[in-house]
Chain A
Amino acid sequence: MKSSITKGWRPLLVLILLLVIWEGAARLFDIPAWLLPLPTQIAAEAFTGYSLYTPHIMSTITLSATGYLVGITVGIVVAILLFRIPFLQQAFYPLLILSQNIPVIVLAPLLVIWFGFGMLPKVIVIVLVCFFPVTIAALDGFRQTDRDMLYYLKMIGASNRQIFWKLQWPHSLPSLFSGLKIAATYSVMGAVISEWLGANKGIGVYMTLASSSFKTDRVFVAILLIMILSLTYFGIILAVEKIALRWRSQGGKVSDGSTHS
């Protein structure tokens, strides 16, 4: 905690400096607000336009959280299936990669055609962007287990199921959590993109309305909200990770590097 305060001033300083330059340059060159609003104008809009965007926030949170939870569940289950059943891995791994090459922005309208304007197509979009980093991270974690520990378990006659749940699964958690953190920020992005396509509420809707009426300051407020939401999700996962991986932080004296990749 102490170190985050003593080290935290550097990025904060850069951020403040950037905002000051932005404010100064925009004033100096007299740039119109519809083109690039001043940071102070954005702050004022965020403050006074409070009642305009609050209903949208709740809707985006519900959507992204639902999508995220479904997405990581699918991601973990897919990873376990692919890992435990080598045949499935050979058959489906290329498909998995291909699924990530379809631009979401193209896929989303198709999903609307197939599933309408309800919650379902939006959740599918989020699931599609969320599950991939989770699956890849978990698979990597499963594969990179410590050879000595694996050998020990085999020697004392552990079954494949025991090897998985007692070694490969806990060993993959640090890697899995990096996937979960990436997916957390993706989920907010996925939610906003899916809201552009047809929704009556959400930060995506607020953003579309603002940009089509040249209320550029509101577009920036929307960006700010997305950032705050993403960071909050990131922070929650980080906190869960700290608790789940208690053993890593304890002791401090890291003598066997093999497990701290």
Chain B
Amino acid sequence: MGQLILENLSKSYGQNHVLQDITLSVKEGEFVSIVGPSGSGKSTIFQLIGGLYTPDSGTISLDGSVLNNSRGHISYMPQSPALFPWRSVLQNVELSAEIAGTKQDRTKTLELIKSAGLTGYEDAYPNELSGGMKQRVSFIRSLNAPQSIICLDEPFSALDEFTRLEMQQWLLSIWETYKKSILFITHDIDEALFLSDRIIVLSDKPAIVKKEITVPFDRPRSEELLMSDPFLILKRKIYNLLRG
């Protein structure tokens, strides 16, 4: 399970019209990215899905049930790792399940920590970790939640180029094992193309869905893809869409 559908979603804050008629869907086990110019209301979409605000019109539904303005149905990974400094790595990973009120599965948690390459760091505190390690903890924290869909909000934008590429490859490998539905916000076209099954291109404010692009590349994907011709052609296409 994990099918998310947004239908004709609109939202404005006073005079500020942010979203207009946004319709998109994430199928079960699908990886969908949203790209758009900065300030185009990408994060607002997440706030609506998360239930922090009510849309002015339209519906959000997950596996058939409407969840406008109700919280706790999604798992989330923010832009900054937002790890709790007083919790060890293990306790941080357990937090998402703790909030959801589900039973902790210690074996699964330790397995996730292992897949993040953090074995031996279970009892370390976040201030002992590097930026990339923190983001990995943050991601496996979102994977450890019982919810079937994860929303990621520009999770790698603060990392340097090399760490980012490494993290993207790691994210793909771990996602291919756990197969949760992912909705991914980014402003990096390379990142969106490299990771996703589909890309939703948003316009400037008020944001509308400008185009939906299906990414044709096979999985598993490797680094060489980034320099291949079909990749660059698609990249140019998206770039031009975003420009005007």
Residues of A participating in the B interface, judged by any CB pair closer than 8 Å: 146, 148-149, 151-158, 162, 166-167, 170-171, 173, 245, 247-248, 250-251, 253-256, 259
Cβ contact of A250, chosen from B47, B72, B75, B128, cutoff 8 A = B128
Q: Of B71, B75, B147, which is in contact with the most chain A CB atoms at under 10 Å from its CB?
A: B71
Question: Is there an interface contact between B52 and A155, defined as CB atoms closer than 8 Å?
Answer: yes
Ordered by A's residue number, 5 sampled pairs between the chains whose C-beta atoms are within 8 Å are: A155-B46, A156-B100, A156-B147, A157-B74, A157-B99
Cβ contact of A167, chosen from B52, B84, B131, cutoff 8 A = B84
Question: Is there an interface contact between B78 and A152, defined as CB atoms closer than 8 Å?
Answer: yes
A138 to B82, CA, bound (A): 22
Question: Is there an interface contact between A255 and B80, defined as CB atoms closer than 8 Å?
Answer: no
A180 to B75, CA, bound (A): 38
Q: Which residues of B contact A255 (CB under 8 A)?
A: 127, 131
Question: Is there an interface contact between A162 and B127, defined as CB atoms closer than 8 Å?
Answer: no
- Further contacts, 8 of them, CB under 8 A, given A157-B51, A256-B127: A146-B82, A152-B78, A155-B52, A156-B100, A157-B99, A166-B84, A166-B99, A255-B127
Question: Is there an interface contact between B76 and A152, defined as CB atoms closer than 8 Å?
Answer: yes
Q: Which residues of A contact B50 (CB under 8 A)?
A: 154-157
CB distance from B9 to the nearest CB of A (A): 17
Q: How large is the interface on B (under 10, 10 to 19, 20 to 34, 35 or more residues)?
A: 20 to 34
Which 7 residue pairs of A and B lie closest in terms of their CB atoms, listed nearest first?
Answer: A157-B72, A157-B71, A251-B128, A155-B76, A148-B82, A155-B50, A152-B82
Question: Is there an interface contact between B82 and A259, defined as CB atoms closer than 8 Å?
Answer: no
Residues 64-84 of chain B: 1 if any A CB is under 8 Å from the residue's CB, otherwise 0?
A: 000000011111101110101
A253 to B147, CA, bound (A): 34
Q: Given A156-B99, A157-B99, A151 and B85 touching (CB < 8 A)? A: no
Question: Is there an interface contact between A154 and B128, defined as CB atoms closer than 8 Å?
Answer: no
Q: Given A247-B86, A256-B85, A148 and B125 touching (CB < 8 A)? A: no
Asked whether any CB of chain A lies closer than 8 Å to the CB of B204, the reply is no
Closest B residue, CB atoms, query A251? B128
Asked whether any CB of chain A lies closer than 8 Å to the CB of B21, the reply is no
CB distance from B122 to the nearest CB of A (A): 14
Closest A residue, CB atoms, query B95? A166
Q: Which residues of B contact A162 (CB under 8 A)?
A: 99
Residues of B participating in the A interface, judged by any CB pair closer than 8 Å: 46-47, 50-52, 71-76, 78-80, 82, 84-88, 95-96, 98-100, 124-128, 131, 145, 147, 151
Q: Which residues of A contact B145 (CB under 8 A)?
A: 156
CB distance from B48 to the nearest CB of A (A): 11
A24 to B120, CA, bound (A): 62
CB distance from A218 to the nearest CB of B (A): 47
Q: Which residues of B contact A151 (CB under 8 A)?
A: 78, 82
A45 to B80, CA, bound (A): 62
Q: Given A156-B96, A156-B100, A156-B145, A247 and B51 touching (CB < 8 A)? A: no
Cβ contact of B127, chosen from A149, A154, A171, A250, cutoff 8 A = A250
Cβ contact of B125, chosen from A146, A154, A171, A250, cutoff 8 A = A250
Q: Of B128, B131, B147, which is in contact with the most chain A CB atoms at under 10 Å from its CB?
A: B128
Q: Which residues of A contact B98 (CB under 8 A)?
A: 166
Question: Is there an interface contact between A154 and B71, defined as CB atoms closer than 8 Å?
Answer: yes
Q: Which residues of A contact B96 (CB under 8 A)?
A: 156
A158 to B98, CA, bound (A): 10
Q: Which residues of A contact B131 (CB under 8 A)?
A: 255
Q: Which residues of B contact A251 (CB under 8 A)?
A: 124-125, 127-128
A247 to B128, CA, bound (A): 10
Q: Which residues of A contact B74 (CB under 8 A)?
A: 155-157
CB distance from A144 to the nearest CB of B (A): 14
Question: Is there an interface contact between B128 and A253, defined as CB atoms closer than 8 Å?
Answer: yes
Cβ contact of B85, chosen from A153, A253, A259, cutoff 8 A = A259
Q: Of B52, B80, B88, which is in contact with the most chain A CB atoms at under 10 Å from its CB?
A: B80
A167 to B85, CA, bound (A): 10
Q: Which residues of B contact A149 (CB under 8 A)?
A: 82, 84
A152 to B52, CA, bound (A): 11
A162 to B86, CA, bound (A): 16
Closest A residue, CB atoms, query B70? A157
Closest A residue, CB atoms, query B130? A255
Q: Which residues of A contact B47 (CB under 8 A)?
A: 155
A181 to B161, CA, bound (A): 46
Closest B residue, CB atoms, query A170? B86
A236 to B125, CA, bound (A): 25
A156 to B86, CA, bound (A): 19
A247 to B80, CA, bound (A): 20
CB distance from B219 to the nearest CB of A (A): 28
A156 to B138, CA, bound (A): 13
Q: Which residues of B contact A245 (CB under 8 A)?
A: 86
Q: Which residues of B contact A256 (CB under 8 A)?
A: 85, 126-127
